[in-house]
Copies of this chain bind each other. A is one copy, B any other.
Amino acid sequence: MIPRYSRPEMVALWEPESKFQIWFEIEAHATDALAEIGVVPKEAAKAIWEKGAFDVDRIDEIEREVKHDVIAFLTNVAENVGEEARFMHQGMTSSDVLDTCLAVQLARASDILLADIDALLAAIKERAYEHKFTPTIGRSHGIHGEPVTFGLKLAQAYAEFERNRERLVLARKEIATCAISGAVGTFANIDPKVEEHVAAKLGLEVEPVSTQVIPRDRHAQYFATLGVIASSVERLAVEVRHLQRTEVLEAEEYFSPGQKGSSAMPHKRNPILTENLTGLARMVRSYAMPAMENVALWHERDISHSSVERMIGPDATITLDFALARLTGVIEKLLIYPERMQKNLDRMGGLVHSQRVLLALTQAGISREDSYRIVQRNAMKVWESDGEIALLDLLKADPDVTAKLSHEELEDRFNLDYHFKHVETIFARVFGE
Contact = CB atoms under 8 A, between A and B. Distances in A.
Contact of A357 (B241, B264, B288): B264
Given A184-B148, A422-B187, A307 B289 contact: no
Contact of A265 (B4, B319, B351): B351
A20 B280 CA distance: 24
A367 interface: no
A379 B319 CA distance: 39
A375 B264 CA distance: 7
A265 B302 contact: no
A144 B266 CA distance: 11
A302 B209 contact: no
Interface in A405-431: 418-423, 425-426, 429-430
Contact of A295 (B228, B280, B379): B228
Contacts of A225: 221, 224
A293 B300 contact: no
A425 B206 CA distance: 12
Pick from A137, A224, A264, A281 the residue with the most CB of B within 10 Å: A264
A interface, over-half SS? helix
Given A145-B212, A280-B307, A383 B266 contact: yes
Interface residues of A, number: 136
Contact of A138 (B231, B232, B245, B300): B300
Given A234-B296, A264-B372, A183 B146 contact: yes
Interface in A105-157: 137-148, 152-153, 155-156
Given A140-B270, A186-B426, A246-B348, 11 more contacts: A2-B310, A138-B183, A146-B186, A164-B217, A192-B425, A221-B225, A235-B297, A245-B245, A276-B306, A279-B306, A285-B292
9 contacts: A152-B185, A155-B209, A186-B422, A187-B422, A187-B426, A245-B248, A265-B354, A279-B290, A285-B293
Interface of A: 2, 4-5, 137-148, 152-153, 155-156, 159-160, 163-164, 167, 170, 174, 183-188, 192, 206, 208-212, 215, 217-218, 220-221, 224-225, 227-228, 230-232, 234-235, 237-239, 241-242, 244-248, 263-272, 275-276, 278-283, 285-290, 292-308, 310-312, 315, 319, 343-344, 347-348, 351-352, 354-355, 357-358, 372, 375-376, 379-380, 383, 386, 418-423, 425-426, 429-430
